[in-house]
Chain A
Amino acid sequence: DGGITQSPKYLFRKEGQNVTLSCEQNLNHDAMYWYRQDPGQGLRLIYYSQIVNDFQKGDIAEGYSVSREKKESFPLTVTSAQKNPTAFYLCASTESSGNTIYFGEGSWLTVV
């Protein structure tokens, strides 16, 4: 079954801790994205990567970090520097030649 898999679906973190959200795709897509979804604010782009070993900051990259060592994987680390990390995080991917985005099911992160 092809698609994008995010894990974990639910995650609790204590303040001051870093946490990494996993995103894996078997669609052979070149580009991958991380969005944050907050009520009333839509989807805001955190980081994106158009090719392996390369990534760019999105609109709200502060307090986050990513890596793209493999085409299939684009993990997101929410660091302790992120002031308001409690949110729903969505990973997505596209072919390099297309704009149709395929989304994962999302990960809920709660800071306690």
Chain B
Amino acid sequence: AQRVTQPEKLLSVFKGAPVELKCNYSYSGSPELFWYVQYSRQRLQLLLRHISRESIKGFTADLNKGETSFHLKKPFAQEEDSAMYYCALGLSSGSRLTFGEGTQLTVNP
């Protein structure tokens, strides 16, 4: 069965520092990977997906099939990046998503 692991429940960095939120997955086929974000008092929303290969709000994520990872990175963290981040795995278009446990990111001034 597919599984998503986010090893860090809590991550704290200072403003302007680089940040990396780790995500590892287990699935033998070709997965679709996503990052979702939940800001305080807001609904969960899509941040980015690996297929798009885009940068959203300065965040990027590269799918590494060899290491089965999809780490989320940003070179210079901002206070407004403080939120809960979830990594998610989909097996094919339209299939159900499996979410990781989430990482609470706090960016300190």
State the A residues within 8 Å of B (CB). 31, 33, 35, 40-45, 48, 50, 58, 90, 92, 94-101, 103-106
Contact = CB atoms under 8 A, between A and B. Distances in A.
Contact of B99 (A31, A43, A48, A106): A43
A91 to B, nearest CB: 10
A45 B96 contact: yes
B43 A42 contact: no
Interface of B: 6, 9, 32, 34, 36, 43-46, 49, 86, 88, 90, 93-102
Contacts, number: 53
Nearest to B1: A59
Query: Which of A42, A90, A105, A106 has the most CB atoms of chain B within a 10 A radius of its CB?
Result: A42
A111 to B, nearest CB: 23
15 contacts: A31-B94, A40-B102, A41-B101, A42-B102, A43-B99, A44-B99, A90-B44, A92-B44, A97-B94, A98-B93, A99-B93, A100-B46, A101-B46, A101-B88, A103-B44
Nearest to B6: A42
Query: Which of A43, A45, A50 has the most CB atoms of chain B within a 10 A radius of its CB?
Result: A43
